[in-house]
Amino acid sequence: MAIEENQYSDVFEPEPSRKRCCRLGTQFALFVLLTAALWAGLMTLLLLWHWDTVRNLKQVEDTAAQNVSLVSKDLQKYQSDQMAQKLQAVHLEQNVQALQAEQKQMKSQDSHLVRNLQRMQEDLTQAKSLSLNERRTVSDLLEKLQEEVAKLWVEIRMANGSTCNTCPEGWLNFQQKCYYFGEGTKRWLQARFACSDLEGRLVSIHSQEEQDFLNKHVSKDAWIGLQDLDVEGEFIWMDGSPVSYSNWLQGEPNNAGSDEDCVMMRGSGHWNDAFCRSQLDTWVCERLATCGPPALPTSEAPTPRHTL
Residue numbers of the site for Ca ion (CB under 5 A)? 252, 254, 256, 260, 272-273
265 binds ligand MMA (CB under 6 A): no
Expressed in angstroms, the distance from the first to the final Cα of the chain is 171
Residues in contact with ligand MMA, total (CB under 6 A)? Answer: 7
Q: Of the two residues 103 and 185, which places its CB atom closer to ligand MMA in the complex? A: 185
252 binds ligand MMA (CB under 6 A): yes
Work out what residue 219 binds among ligand MMA, Ca ion, none; the CB cut-off runs from 5 to 8 Å by kind. none
Site residues for ligand MMA, 267-306, by CB under 6 A, read: 272-274
To ligand MMA, the closest distance from the beta carbon of 246 in angstroms equals: 15
Q: Return the DSSP state at 257.
A: G
To ligand MMA, the closest distance from the beta carbon of 254 in angstroms equals: 5
Q: Of the two residues 150 and 274, which places its CB atom closer to ligand MMA in the complex? A: 274
To ligand MMA, the closest distance from the beta carbon of 122 in angstroms equals: 40
To Ca ion, the closest distance from the beta carbon of 249 in angstroms equals: 8
Q: Of the two residues 102 and 259, which places its CB atom closer to ligand MMA in the complex? A: 259
Rounded CA-CA distance 121/142 in Å is 31
To Ca ion, the closest distance from the beta carbon of 253 in angstroms equals: 6
253, 205, 242: which is closest to 225 by C-alpha? 205
To ligand MMA, the closest distance from the beta carbon of 221 in angstroms equals: 9
Exposure of 114 in the CB half-sphere (CA atoms within 13 A): 6
Q: Of the two residues 167 and 273, which places its CB atom closer to Ca ion in the complex? A: 273
To ligand MMA, the closest distance from the beta carbon of 257 in angstroms equals: 8
256 binds ligand MMA (CB under 6 A): yes
281 sits in which H/E element: strand 280-288
Rounded CA-CA distance 286/214 in Å is 11
Long-range contacts of 246-252 (CB under 8 A, 24+ apart): 246/271, 247/205, 247/208, 247/211, 247/271, 248/272
222-227 and 280-288 strand pairing: parallel
Exposure of 112 in the CB half-sphere (CA atoms within 13 A): 6
Work out what residue 228 binds among Ca ion, ligand MMA, none; the CB cut-off runs from 5 to 8 Å by kind. none
123 sits in which H/E element: helix 16-159
Rounded CA-CA distance 308/296 in Å is 26
Q: Which stretch binds ligand MMA (CB under 6 A): 12-20, 49-57, 132-140, 266-274?
A: 266-274
111 binds ligand MMA (CB under 6 A): no
User: Cβ contacts of residue 236 below 8 Å, gap of 6+?
Assistant: 226, 227, 228, 230, 242, 243
Distances 250 to 222, 247, 268, 271, 273 between C-alpha atoms, Å: 18, 9, 12, 9, 11
260 binds ligand MMA (CB under 6 A): yes
Report the residue number whose CB is nearest to ligand MMA: 256
**Footprint on this chain of ligand MMA (rule: CB under 6 A):** 252, 254, 256, 260, 272-274
